[in-house]
Amino acid sequence: MKVVNLLAVVDKEKCRGCKTCERICPVLAIKMENRKAVIEDDRCRGCGNCEQRCPDYAITMVKREQPIAIKVDVSAVDYDKIEQLCRKAKFNPEQIVCYCTATRAEEVAAAILQGANSPEEVSFLTGVRTGCKVECIQPILRLLEAAGIKPEPPKGGWQWYGRTVTVWDIPEEVKNKYASRGFYFDEDIKILDRVADAPLQGRSDS
């Protein structure tokens, strides 16, 4: 969940149409029109990425007249399906996967089950990946993958580059090769499995 207080505004006099902002917006809120950046106000999640990256200082973050709360209602989705999806992706549903917005895996899973089929749509619906824009891309990709979705990074964009390897993906031969060098892959997996499989704390029916 995120309360969006800020909105990106373009100074058209300064914009040179380089497309950098369009390529890095995590929710695809920026389009080019007549070689100038145009921001879709309702879509902007106030992350400031475009302001930080614009080489011509043409974008400013301003306070929204009305803050908007971005959240997917987890209770509107079958919780068994949410739990199944999270556990399949090796997340505990109650685990926080985006620290900037304190969003739990269950909310990202709910967004996917409601039809979000790309990181950009997940970010748009939940607000995740609109803080640091770094840490939560991998949990999003893992949850999408668990749902059988293989999104492609936006064409021509620099929003994300693919899923990285997790401890569960490491082949036995690699584990064996490094076993004598102080790596404890199986022990790590056991600890992480305990987190992912732990009973739910916040639900009376669990």
Q: Using CB under 6 A, which of the segments 39-47, 90-98, 100-108, 192-200 binds ligand SF4?
A: 39-47
Q: How far is the CB of 86 from ligand SF4 (least distance, A)?
A: 26
What is the distance between the terminal CA atoms of the chain, rounded to a whole angstrom?
23
Mapped onto helix, strand or coil, the DSSP state of residue 201 is: coil
Residue 58 or 77 having the CB closest to ligand SF4 = 58
Q: Does the footprint of ligand SF4 cover residue 17 (CB under 6 A)?
A: yes
Q: How far is the CB of 30 from ligand SF4 (least distance, A)?
A: 5
DSSP E strand boundaries for the chain: 2-10, 30-33, 36-39, 59-70, 96-98, 103-104
Q: Does the footprint of ligand SF4 cover residue 101 (CB under 6 A)?
A: no
Q: Does the footprint of ligand SF4 cover residue 137 (CB under 6 A)?
A: no
Residue 38 or 167 having the CB closest to ligand SF4 = 38
Residue 17 or 153 having the CB closest to ligand SF4 = 17
Q: Does the footprint of ligand SF4 cover residue 103 (CB under 6 A)?
A: no
Q: Which of 36, 60, 27 is nearest to 160 (CA)?
A: 27
Among 9, 31, 38, 48, binds ligand SF4 (CB under 6 A): 48
Among 1, 9, 19, 96, binds ligand SF4 (CB under 6 A): 19
Give the contacts of 175 (CB within 8 A, at least 6 positions apart).
Answer: 183, 185, 186
Q: Which of 103, 145, 143 is nearest to 125 (CA)?
A: 103
Among 1, 2, 5, 10, binds ligand SF4 (CB under 6 A): 10
The tokens describing 24, both together, are 């890095």
CA distances (Å), origin 201, targets 61, 104, 158, 190, 205:
38, 13, 38, 20, 10
Residue 44 or 116 having the CB closest to ligand SF4 = 44
Q: Does the footprint of ligand SF4 cover residue 136 (CB under 6 A)?
A: no
CB atoms within 10 A of CB 194: 10
Tell me the residue type at 200: L
Q: What is the rounded CA–CA span in Å between residue 76 and residue 96?
A: 20
Residue 118 or 130 having the CB closest to ligand SF4 = 130
Q: Does the footprint of ligand SF4 cover residue 21 (CB under 6 A)?
A: yes
Tell me which residues touch ligand SF4 (CB under 6 A).
8, 10, 15-21, 25, 27, 29-30, 37, 39, 44-50, 54, 56, 58-59, 130
